[in-house]
Amino acid sequence: MLNIGNHLRKTQTNLISLEKISFSWPNGQKILDNCSFSISKPGLWMIVGKNGSGKSTLFRLLNGMIEKDSGNFYCELRPSLMFQNPDHQLLLPTCKSDLMLSIPRSLTDSQRQKLIDKVLNQVGMKGFESRPIHTLSGGQKQRLALAGALASGSNLLLLDEPTALLDPISQNSVLEIVKELCSDKKNPMTAIWITHRINELKFCDSAAIMDKGSIGPWLTGEDLFNQLNSLAGR
């Protein structure tokens, strides 16, 4: 990496790189503290950590909603943020009208229609375009939010405990779809998934712990699961 000013320029293969990033909210509390990590390739990357360890703040930084106080940050992907509660991000009455909000205005009507068909298909919701949002299950709402991210042309999904409010079947359907999007042969997505449910670690490509504002090394999901599971048993 070349350090140019306060930004990192890509010289290797990293898609995202953070070097010693720090950030404090205006009350002075340091929430990101010398946080360093990089993501070198598409895939499903999971982060676990206690409440208040800075996970959601990190996502705000990756999404461009807040500016670092110090350190170097580089991200070549186009992020979309997804929250625990899909009702906070679905705005219009039907699946189609909601998706229209995410679609670039430059497209023609027939291009829009094609894109809507494509993204609904990608999230396993073919034929749902005229369904009223209030008739969807929690899992379907999260999948529709995913479809919106895809329609917007995003290639980085920032998923902040997306299954926290879902039952196990819906949880699984969202996990399976994100996993599939991230393992697509032609055009794989990059997803960073924050979770409190350690059984979800089994689905990921790599996982790390966030603690007191910084991120530990990337491990396999299985290794981190075993590590946390043995601690839980003590």
Ligand X SMILES: Nc1ncnc2c1ncn2[C@@H]1O[C@H](COP(=O)(O)OP(=O)(O)O)[C@@H](O)[C@H]1O
Binding residues (CB under 6 A) for ligand X: these are 25, 27, 31, 49, 51-57
The nearer residue to ligand X, 15 or 47, going by C-beta atoms, is: 47
The CA distance from 219 to 39, in Å, is 12
Nearest distance from C-beta of residue 165 to ligand X, angstroms: 15
Partner from Mg ion, ligand X, none contacting 214, C-beta within 5 to 8 A by type: none
Residues 6-65 that bind Mg ion (CB under 5 A): 55-56
The CA distance from 63 to 75, in Å, is 10
The CA distance from 234 to 230, in Å, is 7
Partner from ligand X, Mg ion, none contacting 110, C-beta within 5 to 8 A by type: none
Find the radius of gyration of the CA atoms of the chain. 18
Q: Nearest to Mg ion by Cβ — which residue?
A: 56
Q: Are strands 190-194 and 43-48 parallel, antiparallel or unpaired?
A: parallel
∠ Cα 93 134 60 (to 5°): 75
Q: How many residues bind Mg ion (CB under 5 A)?
A: 2
The nearer residue to ligand X, 61 or 103, going by C-beta atoms, is: 61
Nearest distance from C-beta of residue 7 to Mg ion, angstroms: 26
Closest CA to 130 of 101, 88, 97, 152: 97
Residues 17, 1 contacting (CB under 8 angstroms): yes
The CA distance from 84 to 95, in Å, is 19
The nearer residue to Mg ion, 116 or 207, going by C-beta atoms, is: 207
Partner from ligand X, Mg ion, none contacting 54, C-beta within 5 to 8 A by type: ligand X
The nearer residue to ligand X, 22 or 40, going by C-beta atoms, is: 22
The nearer residue to Mg ion, 55 or 141, going by C-beta atoms, is: 55
Partner from Mg ion, ligand X, none contacting 52, C-beta within 5 to 8 A by type: ligand X
Partner from Mg ion, ligand X, none contacting 51, C-beta within 5 to 8 A by type: ligand X
Q: Give whole-number Cα distances, 28 to 31, 50, 61, 69, 100, in Å.
A: 9, 20, 17, 11, 40
The CA distance from 176 to 181, in Å, is 9
The nearer residue to Mg ion, 55 or 143, going by C-beta atoms, is: 55
Residues 54-113 that bind Mg ion (CB under 5 A): 55-56
Q: Which residues bind Mg ion (CB under 5 A)?
A: 55-56
